[in-house]
Structure formats: structure tokens, C-alpha cells
Amino acid sequence: MAAATGSISWKKALIPLASLPLIALLAYGFRTDPKNIPSPLVKKPAPAFQMAIYDGEPISLGGLKGKAVVLNFWASWCFPACYEEAPLLESTWRTYKEQGVIFLGVDIQDKEANAREFMRRFNYTFPNGPDPGSKISIDYGVYGVPETFFIDRQGRIAYKHVGALTPDLLRAQLDVLLKEQ
Amino acid sequence: MAGLMALVLLLVPVLGSAATAAVTQMPDFALEDRVREVAEGLRCVVCQNLSVADSPSDLAKEMRNVVRELIQQGKSPAEIRAYFVSRYGEFVLLAPPKRGFNLLLWGLPFLAIAAGACGVYFVAKRWTAQREPERAVDPEYAERVRRDLQERAGPSKS
Amino acid sequence: MVSTLGGFVLFLALGVTIYAAAASVIGARPGREDWLASSRNAILVHFCLVTLAIFLLEYALITSDFSLRYVANTSTRGSLTRYKIAGLWGSLEGSILLWEWLQALMGALVVARYHDKHRQLMPYVQAVLQGISVFFLLLMAFAVNPFARIFPIPPDGRGLNPLLEVTDMLVHPLLLYSGYVGFSVPFAFGLAALITGRPSEEWLTITRRWTVVAWMFLTCGIFYGGWWSYRTLGWGGYWAWDPVENASFMPWLTGTAFIHSVMIQQRKRMLRIWNLVLVTLTFSLVIFGTFLTRSGILGSVHAFADGPVGVMFLAFLSVVLLFSFGLVAYRADQLKGHGELDSIVSRESAFLLNNVILVGICFTVFLGTIFPLLSEAVRGTKISVGTPYFNRVAGPLGMALLLLMGVGPLIAWGRASLNNLRRNFLKPSLLAVAGTIALYFLGVHEEAVLAAFLFAFFVIATVSFEFVVSTRTRARSTGERLLEAFFALLLRSRRRYGGLIVHLGVVIAIIGIAVSSIYKVEREATLKPGETLSIGHYTVRFDSLAAGERPTHILVWANLMGLKDGKPIGELTPGSRFYPNQQTPFASVDARYHWKEDLYVILSAFERDGSSATIKVMINPMISWIWIGGGVIVLGVLVAVLPERRLALLSVRARAQEA
């Protein structure tokens, strides 16, 4: 029996073509990064906090008004990213510390002994402290380490970076913070 | 009768288990229940798709503590959700709020099913209209069939 | 050496498969039997080559040949042999090889079974199956070569993700993949029917068993995945509506719809287009699922994405969708059957409703899975769609399906008379209502649970009555004893009674899901040695903390004593596993599993000196019913697909023994 022939009108062609929008959406998915979640805090006032400092006086964010703040969240168990950016942070701190910016490190969900070892290893001279109960982390919407917040002199969050910092990015953001009076 | 008994026997363990289960509710954990309720709607941001209530991670534990504190301060579930959204973004809600574009998500399934059910109804109506008309059964033939059936059933009666 | 040989084998297989597909198409014309015969040989050679590739990779894994990047990624020298073997599917490249091997196996089996039948359909069936294999072989040849080398050769491998070093890893992926790949066979036959323009029900009859067996494997895989999650992952749950979990659930839903609506087509020659659409959707969802896992566009526990793989899968998915639906559109006019229904109150209507609900649930799950992506594309914000949404929408639909499961098998084909309805449904309805009222007075007050039990009782009652009445009738008319009559009944109408058993299994599982979700309780506390935690009838006492070395990790566990109503019921030892390469430990759950309820314990935290341990204790009532239900489903499928010859032999033998 010879197979009867079929036909296709433009109306019927809609059926297969209906799958194209879906394919387009999935293709769009390649450009998104499911791990990168934009923060709602950018361009808003930085949440206030008070934190104890390892070997230092407690620091409150309010007391730093007028200075630019680089707030870095890290942990000793964060391989390899925190270990990659630590020397960069310390060296940049030493370069910029007289220019009206302060680097502040928040050590999250960590043991003090391990944290001190981390700080000793990278010769950290800027203030670092623990975050018991993860209050500060939650206030800043931190969902991984490392994350760094760039806070301007008026106390607003200018930029949030997720992941290890690179020299160019760190310097560029610092320059932005320090340019405004 | 045997069928009925078999059925009852089947149902007894079911009833028993369910009853035991239901009565294991503990009245003195109201706060924890409320924490759990709110936490179930929040996403554990360091896990894959788990709620803050279910997640075993440390951050989730701390988030639960924050929820507990906020409840004890008298905040409502909506306020607690807003608290977390202002910090983490809408991403932290495990089910998007029923607003704006998200209405598509909440509405489409029911619309689709309703449309499907209506479609099936109308198609079924059309198909029943298309069926061939019944022919009346020849009464003599029907009588013969009835007699034959009776004969067959007869000898096997125990 | 293995690397070069393995790569060569895969390239050779690619060439052979392309030839097999082409030769099949050429052999479709009448008079070209020699081409067809040649294509069949090529298909068998294809299978042998891919089998050889598997052997080579396994050899490299077992001998810890770390010159292969894949071996270095998925095993270590110290891994147990069975996990080295399982490393074959532990990561991307190997999993593609395994999938392709199963696909090649399907192609070979189809050839072996039907090589001298179905002259018109077979060439195109072969072409489609080989075409799918071509895609997977292309993937391996140009994107994810499992035999790729690594320089310098590392002294030891990285090893499987510790979450995967469990016996479940030996089973779960194989079950799922068998289900996924199995669905390609009815798909191939469906496409062949479309290509040849044969609007018959032929392809349905041929593929019935393939579809049901593939469905069974997929069901097993899904249940097993839940069981694994529950027993091992340590969060106390079994389903998180993770995108990849959803990806396995969606083809299951359309596959179930397909199995049911096929019965209408076989009886009434209706719904031809719909069934072709369903089988295409099922296969497309399988590909979509594997695309999700491997493209990384949606984060997931299961995802293991890499490079161009995602793009290639999307391209393949597009080809499948456009080609299949294009064919359906092309043949639409010829396929239109003469739709006839005797009455709206009939089994046909029940099946149609079943389809609407199942496809509706599938649509919901699909929408929920891609909505974050859609929302980001349209609004630019990232949102989450998780358990609260899926439960809210799928829950009521599941209830409707539950009710249908009771009605469907017993309502008559054609027109259900009032007599028929009364005879089949009156007593079960009464029993269901009575049972639910009894539950209410026993303390169950939640509407969702009561509704679930109402429908569940209804289904159990209808199934039980059907079995009991039919067995009694048969026993009376043949003089057999009740048990004999029961088995004879099963054997005679395997499909029907197998189906009933499957429904029973689904009901049992749904009861387990409903009760365990609504009535689970948990409590967490930090205990010092000797202290106890009470939950319901149970008490858990913390005795001591211990630690020990295992081949691949360090295990720390708490020695707990469980008591029920004050009487000891056994030790529980939940723990944490610390792996050298991993930052956070993995939970090692312990539980007392029981068909009534599970006592489930997790070690959340501890002090290294053993002075305290934080444990989380849960009671999960009736959660075992989910796994039991899964087992009953498998039993039902086995009854439904048992081949005829063997059964005739069995019943002859039984009768001979009686005599």
C-alpha cells in the first residue's frame, strides 16, 4: 500500500514552530549565571553593625562615617578563593591606608584558632573580627565567601563583589570610593 | 461478605498508623512550629533548593535563629519575609509573591487545566453526537441469549 | 594506550552508526533488502564497539589508570572497587558513554526482536534509534571524550564526590537511564509510523511492553532516588523539587498519560495525533531533562555541567522537537480518526480526564522549573520557585488523580449504566466515607489528610472488591480453590490486574507522602553524655561520641540509645563523615525504620572532646509506605508484562499437578 502524502499549511507549521520560543528561552539561559544573585542592598545605606575585633577595640560601622570602607567577608575554610585574595587585600590595604579608607574583615562561621592562623599566614594588619550568630552576614545578605562590599563615605553600599577580588577590580572600586568627598 | 472482611482487615493497620501519627503532635512546641512554618517559605541560600527549615547547614541554623528572634519580637510572617527579602532579594523566598509577573506562575496551571477539562468536555460531547444510532435488539434473539446464559450457569451451581 | 584505543573505538562506532542510519533509510524502499540486512549488521557492530569502549573505560578505572582525566576525576587509589566501577557514570563523560551504551543496546535488541517483521516500520525505527546514538557519539567525539588524557599524570585521583560513594550510586543512575533510554523505542516507532504515513495502531501494540518496562525503570529510579535522599543525605526529606528531580518527574507524567490513552486508541482508533504528541513529549522531556543536568543553566544538586555540551544538547532538543512536531503537523489530516464516544460517563472519559490532569501536572512542574529563567529574562530579577509552590499546585491535582484511579478501572467502556455505577461504586464509596469518619474520630483533623484518605480508601475498596468478587466468581464457575482462582485470574488478565496492583501501589505511596508530610515532628537539642531528648513516645539518650578511620574518610559518630515508652529499642549511631578534599562534613544518618513510623536521627554538631552533641530527631509517620508503594508498583508492572508463553506453561503445569 502506497503511503498517502501529507500536506502542511502555514497554520499547521505553527505546531512545530511553537517550540521556538522555548528554545530561545533556554538559549538565553546560557548567558545567565545561576550562582550570581544580585544584591538588593547596592546603592542603599549599609546596615549598621558592631563587631568585636581580634586583638583590638570593637568597631561600629557608624563610627567609620566619613571614611570609605571595604568590608570583606571571609573564612579559613574557604578554599581556594579566600586564600587567593588575602595577599592582595593586605598589600592594597598597606598602600591605601593613609588615604581615608579602612579595610574591615568579617570572619564567618569559623573557629578562632583557625582564623588567627589564617590572619597570621597572610600578615593581616587591618582589623578583622568574628561574626557570632552570623548576624552581620545575614544583614548583608551574604550567601557565600568571599564577598566584598565597597561602602562610600556617606555610608552607602556602592558595589558588592562575589568571589575572589582581582587587583584591577579592587583598585578601580577604591578609586571610585575615594574620588567623591 | 468475605470481600468486606478482607477490606476491613486491610484498613485496620492504615487506620491504626494514621491515628498514632496524628496523636504524636506535641502541644508545647508552638514557637518551634511557627519558626518552622516561616522557615519553610525561605530558601537556604547556600544549599540547592532546600528550605531554611530543612537545611542542615550552619547558615540555615543561624537564619532559623533570626526567625525565632523576630517571632519573639512579635513580627508577623510577612514582616519576617520582608526582612529577608530586603537583604537577599526575592531569591530568598521559596515561592514568589503573588504579584505582577508572578501571577503567570500561579495562574497558568489552573487556567491550563480548566482549559483542558473544558476541551475534553466539548470534544467528548462532539464525539457522543457523532456516534452511530443504536439499533433495537431483536426480542427473540435477546430471549435466546438469556436462556443460553441460564443453562450455562445452572450445572455449575454448587 | 587505553586512551588512544578508546578514542578510536568511539570514532569507529560513530562512523558505523552513521552508516547504519543511512543504510536503514535506503533499505526502506522495497527491493533494497540487502541494504537493510547490512544496516542490521552495522547496528550489532555498533553495539559491540560501544560495549568494548565501556570495557576499556572500566579497565582503566579498576586499574586506576590516572593518565585518563576521567579516571583521575572520579576515583582514587583507595576507593573500593565497586565505586571505581561506579565511577563510570560518576561524572559527565562517563555518564554519556553509559547512556549511549544503553541506547546502542536498545537498537540491538529491537533489531534482534523484530528483524524479520514490520518491513515498513523497521527501517525508520532503526534510523531514529541510530540517529539518537549518532548525537551521543558526536558529543563524545567532539566535546566530552571519556578517554581524554591528562598531563602531568597525577599520583592519585580526586575521587568521586563523597555524596556519591554509597551503594545507591551503584543502582540509581542505571535505573533512571534505563527508563530514559527505554522511552526512545516507542518514540522511534511513533516517528516511523509518522514517516511511513501508516495511521494504524500497529506501533502501539508492538511497543506496549517496551513503554511499560521503560516506565517501570523510570518509576524505580525516581522512588529509589527519594529513598537515597532520605536515608543518606541527612536532611530528612526525599524530594526537594530540584530542577533535575523535576526533569525525571516530567517524562514520567507524560509517560503515564501515554500508557493510559494508548488503551483508548487501541479500542476505538481515536486520539492518534494525541498519542503521537504524548510519546514525542515524553522523549523530548527526557532530552530536556538531561539538557538541564548538563547545561548548568539552572543550579541543581545533580548538575555537572561543562562547556559546549549544553549548546549541543539544546541543538539536539531543537531538532527532535521541530522534526517530530513537524511530522505530526504534516500528517495531521491523515491521522484524524473518527472520534466516537458512546457516553460521557465512560472509561474513555475517565482516561481523557486522567490525561488532562497528568499533562496538567507536567505543565505545572515545567512552568515552575523554567519560571526563574523566564522571570530573569523578562524582569531581570532572580527568583526561586520551590516546594511551597509545587506542593500547593500539584497537591490538589494529585488528589483528583487519586479519585480517578478508583473510578477508571471499574467504570465501563462505552456507556456506564446506572446499574454498572451502583454495582461497582456504591459499596466502596460507603466504606470510604465510613473509614474517613472513623479516622476523624481517631484524631485526624487535617482536611488534606482526610481527603487523601477518603480517596485512598475508595481506591483500595474498589480494587479489593474487584479482586475478591472476580476471584469468587471464577472459583465458583471453575471449581478451583480461591487461591488458585486468584492466580489463574492474574495470569489470564495480566494487564488488567497488573494495572490494578500498580494503582494500589500508587495509593499506598500517596498515603505515605500525605501522612509523613503533615504529621512529621522534629526536635533538636544539644545534649551532654547521659542527657535525653524526648519526642512523642520516644526518648533518645546520648551516651558517648566516637571516631574512627575509614578507607576514604574519618567518621565521627554519636552513640545514642533509643527508647520507646521507656523501653530500649536499639542503638542509633548518626555521624559525620570528614573527607580530606572537602571543607564541610557529610551527614551519616541513622534511623529505626518501621512501617508505622521512622525514628530518624541526625548528628548536627559536636564538641571534639565528646562533651556534647547536638542531635536532631524526627518522627516520620508512615514514610515507609512510600517505598512499600513503590515495590507494589513494580510488582504490578511485572504481572502486567509477563510474557504469554511462560504463563501458559505455568498454568498447564499447575493443572497437571492437580490431576
A75 lies in the same domain as A22? no
Are B128 and C476 within 8 A, CB to CB?
Answer: no
How many domains does chain A contain in total?
2
Are C385 and B95 within 8 A, CB to CB?
Answer: yes
Give the CA angle between residues C513, C516, C520 to the nearest 5°.
155
pLDDT of C531 above 70: yes
What's the sign of the alpha-carbon dihedral B136, B139, B141, B147? positive
Residue of A nearest to C324 (CA): A16
Q: Of the candidates B46, B58, B86, which has its C-beta nearest A144's C-beta?
A: B46
Compute the nearest-CA separation of B76 from chain C (Å): 18
Q: Among the listed ranges A75-79, B128-132, C274-278, C404-408, which one has the minimum average pLDDT value?
A: B128-132
C381 to chain B: which residues are within 8 Å by CB?
89-91
Question: What pLDDT is attached to residue A12?
Answer: 77
Report domain extents, chain B. 26-92, 102-157
Question: What count of CB pairs under 8 Å joins A to B?
Answer: 41
Asked if the structure places residue A38 within a domain, the reply is no
As a dihedral over the C-alpha atoms of residue C436, residue C440, residue C441, residue C444, rounded to 10 degrees, the angle is 130
Residue B26's pLDDT band, with cuts at 50, 70 and 90, is very low
C135: amino acid identity, one letter: F
Chains in contact with C, where contact requires at least 3 CB pairs less than 8 Å apart: A, B
Q: Of the candidates C341, C442, C465, which has its C-beta nearest B124's C-beta?
A: C341
For residues C566 and C347, give the distance between their C-alpha atoms in angstroms, rounded to a whole number.
Answer: 54
Where does residue A135 rank: exposed (0-12), middle (13-18), buried (19+ CB within 10 A)?
middle
Residue C150: CB atoms within 10 Å? 15
Residue C101's pLDDT band, with cuts at 50, 70 and 90, is very high
C1 lies in the same domain as C91? yes
Predicted TM-score (pTM) of the model is 0.90
Asked if the structure places residue A45 within a domain, the reply is no
For residues B21 and C514, give the distance between their C-alpha atoms in angstroms, rounded to a whole number.
Answer: 11
Is B91's Cβ below 8 Å from some Cβ in A?
yes
A122 lies in the same domain as A55? yes
Model pLDDT for residues C370-399, shown as the tens digit of each residue: 999 999 889 888 899 999 999 998 889 999
Model pLDDT for residues C461-520, shown as the tens digit of each residue: 988 888 888 888 888 888 778 788 888 888 888 888 999 999 999 999 999 998 888 888
B117 to chain C: which residues are within 8 Å by CB?
353, 356
Residue B14's pLDDT band, with cuts at 50, 70 and 90, is low
C377 to chain A: which residues are within 8 Å by CB?
25, 28
A9 lies in the same domain as A56? no
A97 lies in the same domain as A170? yes
- Give yes or no for a contact between A37 and B91, defined as CB atoms under 8 angstroms apart: yes
Is C315's Cβ below 8 Å from some Cβ in A?
no
Residue at which a domain ends, from C119, C142, C170? C170
C271: containing domain: 179-335+343-401
Asked if the structure places residue C123 within a domain, the reply is yes
Residue of A nearest to C329 (CA): A12
Q: Name the nearest CA neighbour of C519 among C573, C580, C448.
A: C448
Is A34's Cβ below 8 Å from some Cβ in B?
no
B65 to chain C: which residues are within 8 Å by CB?
none
C90 lies in the same domain as C7? yes
How many domains does chain C contain in total?
4
Asked if the structure places residue C410 within a domain, the reply is no
Are B86 and A37 within 8 A, CB to CB?
Answer: no
Residues forming beta bridges with residue C523, ordered by sequence position:
C617
CATH of the domain at C527: 2.60.98
Which segment, A11-20, C152-161, C559-568, is predicted with the most confidence on average?
Answer: C559-568
Model pLDDT for residues C16-32, shown as the tens digit of each residue: 999 999 999 999 888 88
Question: What pLDDT is attached to residue C304?
Answer: 52
Among A9, A10, A17, A19, most C C-beta atoms within 10 A, so best to mutate, is: A19
Long-range contacts of B21-26 (CB under 8 A, 24+ apart): B21/C515, B21/C519, B21/C597, B21/C621, B21/C622, B22/C442, B22/C443, B22/C444, B22/C445, B22/C449, B22/C519, B23/C443, B24/C519, B24/C521, B24/C536, B24/C537, B24/C597, B24/C619, B24/C621, B25/C519, B25/C521, B26/C521, B26/C535, B26/C536
A2: containing domain: 1-33
- Give yes or no for a contact between B41 and B95, defined as CB atoms under 8 angstroms apart: yes
Asked if the structure places residue A43 within a domain, the reply is no
Asked if the structure places residue A171 within a domain, the reply is yes
Asked if the structure places residue A39 within a domain, the reply is no
C432 lies in the same domain as C575? no
- Give yes or no for a contact between C560 and C543, defined as CB atoms under 8 angstroms apart: yes
CATH of the domain at A90: 3.40.30.10
Interacting residues of C122 by C-beta distance below 8 A, sequence separation 6+: C24, C36, C114, C115, C192
Is A109's Cβ below 8 Å from some Cβ in B?
yes
Mean per-residue pLDDT, C135-150: 92
C386 lies in the same domain as C461? no
Is A4's Cβ below 8 Å from some Cβ in C?
yes
Q: Name the nearest CA neighbour of C556 among C609, C600, C599, C598.
A: C609
Is B77's Cβ below 8 Å from some Cβ in C?
no
Compute the nearest-CA separation of A109 from chain B (Å): 8
For residues C232 and C238, give the distance between their C-alpha atoms in angstroms, rounded to a whole number.
Answer: 10
For residues C394 and C384, give the distance between their C-alpha atoms in angstroms, rounded to a whole number.
Answer: 17
Among A37, A77, A157, most B C-beta atoms within 10 A, so best to mutate, is: A37
A8 lies in the same domain as A81? no
Model pLDDT for residues A113-132, shown as the tens digit of each residue: 889 999 999 999 999 999 98
C244 lies in the same domain as C365? yes
Model pLDDT for residues C221-274, shown as the tens digit of each residue: 999 999 999 988 878 889 999 888 999 999 999 999 999 999 988 888 888 889
Among A143, A147, A160, A162, most B C-beta atoms within 10 A, so best to mutate, is: A143
C115 lies in the same domain as C6? yes
Asked if the structure places residue A57 within a domain, the reply is yes
pLDDT of B21 above 80: no
C165 lies in the same domain as C306? no
Model pLDDT for residues C46-85, shown as the tens digit of each residue: 999 999 999 999 999 989 888 898 988 888 887 788 888 8
C370 lies in the same domain as C429? no
Question: What pLDDT is attached to residue A1?
Answer: 36
Q: Does domain B26-92 have CATH number 3.40.50.720?
A: no
Say whether C597 sits in a helix, a strand or coil: strand
